[in-house]
């Protein structure tokens, strides 16, 4: 009897030791992170920013990173994400993004409750259990107030087109090229239009959608037409298609505003003439947000089951203040951007958005007369006082 009790105790101790050792191995092993891109890397914009974020985490934390490119054909996206999520031995955290992928992740996350998912640039519909099975409680969403960053871009474009620098004229025409006519892109554009109207109530914003994210020839065609119509500056919100906007700006001696990444700096060494035409970029700091999310996970503080919105105040969006910006931008325009940025952060200016309550939703092309009244002293701001 004593022998049996001793054997039972030995077995229990062995099992406890095995559990302890396996836990130690799990804790000591590198954190495995998978980034799933519903497109291709190399866009020098949105997806490359996401890659920079996980690469930075790779440099600073004990993690392993694997990136999966699903290609530009949407027909491959759901099956590609399904395969990646099902390969549970390959990751502890799986990261994906863009509104096209919401339903694909939402209906599968509950199948892997011991895994953590990060979703960027769109919110999980946590309250809609028809889409978010079991409430997507193991999914963290991070969004960016692209309307705020684009508001700065609109202020900048309108101020620069009136600045008199070579490559601009006295007209109040600027442009914006969107990848697709979808809510997130329109959120950029309504902010851009509102910013332009703050500077000049006569602003005319030309808007056209390319219908593609990876067609530089189409982007160039649209931008050339906008420059023909009097636009001095064109804001590209079209991923890889926007590379054609830069080509058109260089060819015509006009200007462009990049998106998501600091697109001038990326090409400054290889194509300085074209880079000089990209006066700034509206930064959607996907890189910072993914790095931050991984860091929070490691600290045990990632708020899974919720969505966060990062705006100007949180460093989620903003303009690129590089050497080209500094050298090309008159001091009074730099002063204006600084003042407008502060006004948005302080809440003195509320930026239009296509998201939110139905009676508050802005629409592209409403014109300056439809913009909300804002108390803002433009001349004082440009003087830097």
Condensed to tens digits (0 to 9), the pLDDT of residues 62-91 reads: 999 999 999 999 999 999 999 999 999 999
Angle, helix 286-298 to helix 46-60, in steps of 10 degrees: 30
Name beta bridge partners: 259: 282
Average confidence (pLDDT) over 305-314 = 95
Q: Summarize pLDDT for 97-142 with one digit per residue, the tens.
A: 999 999 999 999 999 999 999 999 999 999 999 999 999 999 999 9
* Residue 373 confidence (pLDDT): 86
Q: How far apart are CA 69 and CA 88, in angstroms?
A: 18
Torsion of CA 246, 248, 250, 256, to 10 degrees: -50
Torsion of CA 330, 332, 337, 340, to 10 degrees: -170
The overall average pLDDT reported for the chain is 91
| φ and ψ at residue 95, rounded to 5 degrees | -115, 130
Average confidence (pLDDT) over 20-42 = 73
Give the residue from 254, 309, 258, 303 showing the smallest Cα distance to 277: 254
Q: Summarize pLDDT for 39-58 with one digit per residue, the tens.
A: 999 988 899 999 999 999 99
Q: With bands split at pLDDT 50, 70 and 90, how would you rate the model's confidence at 328?
A: very high
User: What domains sit in the chain, N to C, each tagged with a CATH number?
Assistant: 6-144 (3.40.50.2300), 146-284+321-383 (3.40.50.2300)
Let me know: does 109 contact 65? Beta carbons within 8 Å.
no
Q: How far apart are CA 364 and CA 190, in angstroms?
A: 5
Q: How far apart are CA 40 and CA 146, in angstroms?
A: 22
Let me know: does 233 contact 157? Beta carbons within 8 Å.
yes
Q: What is the pTM of this model?
A: 0.84
Let me know: does 276 contact 297? Beta carbons within 8 Å.
no
What lies within 8 Å, CB to CB, of 87 at 6+ separation is none
Q: How far apart are CA 62 and CA 298, in angstroms?
A: 10
Give the residue with greater pLDDT, 20 vs 49. Answer: 49
| φ and ψ at residue 94, rounded to 5 degrees | -120, 130
Q: Which two tokens stand for residue 353?
A: 């958005």
Q: With bands split at pLDDT 50, 70 and 90, how would you rate the model's confidence at 176?
A: very high
Q: How do the residues of the chain divide into helix, strand and coil, expressed in percent and rounded to 5?
A: 50, 15, 35
Torsion of CA 75, 80, 81, 87, to 10 degrees: 160
């Amino acid at each position: 009897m004593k022998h049996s009790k001793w054997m039972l105790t030995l077995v229990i101790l062995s099992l406890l030791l095995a559990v302890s050792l396996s836990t130690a191995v799990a804790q000591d092993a590198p954190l495995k992170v998978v980034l799933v891109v519903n497109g291709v890397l190399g866009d020098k914009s949105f997806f490359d920013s996401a890659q920079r974020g996980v690469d930075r985490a790779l440099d600073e934390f004990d993690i392993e990173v694997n990136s999966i490119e699903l290609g530009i054909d949407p027909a491959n996206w759901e099956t590609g994400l399904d395969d990646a999520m099902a390969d549970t031995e390959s990751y502890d955290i799986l990261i994906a993004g863009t509104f096209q992928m919401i339903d694909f992740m939402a209906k599968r996350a509950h199948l892997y409750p011991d895994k953590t998912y990060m979703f960027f640039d769109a919110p999980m519909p946590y309250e809609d259990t028809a889409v978010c099975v079991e409430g997507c409680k193991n999914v963290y969403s991070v969004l960016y107030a692209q309307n705020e960053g684009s508001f700065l871009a609109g202020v900048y474009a309108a101020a620069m087109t009136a600045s008199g620098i070579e490559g601009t004229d006295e007209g109040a025409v600027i442009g914006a090229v969107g990848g697709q006519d979808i809510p997130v892109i329109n959120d950029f554009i309504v902010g851009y239009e509102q910013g332009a109207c703050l500077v000049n109530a006569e602003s005319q914003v030309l808007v056209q959608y390319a219908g593609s994210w990876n067609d530089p020839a189409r982007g160039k065609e649209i931008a050339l037409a906008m420059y023909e119509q009097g636009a001095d500056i064109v804001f590209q919100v079209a991923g890889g298609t926007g590379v054609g906007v830069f080509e058109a700006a260089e060819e015509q001696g006009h200007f462009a505003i990049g998106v998501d990444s600091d697109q001038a700096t990326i090409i400054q060494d290889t194509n300085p003439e074209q880079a000089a035409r990209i006066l700034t970029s509206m930064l959607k700091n996907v890189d910072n947000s993914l790095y931050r999310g991984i860091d929070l996970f490691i600290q045990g503080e990632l708020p899974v089951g919720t969505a966060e919105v990062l705006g100007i105040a949180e460093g989620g969006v903003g303009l690129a203040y590089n050497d080209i910006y500094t050298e090309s931008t008159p001091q009074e325009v730099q002063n204006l951007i600084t003042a407008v940025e502060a006004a948005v952060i302080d809440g003195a200016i509320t930026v239009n958005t296509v998201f939110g309550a139905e009676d508050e939703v802005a629409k592209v092309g409403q014109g300056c007369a439809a913009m909300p009244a804002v108390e803002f002293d433009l001349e004082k701001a440009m003087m830097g006082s």
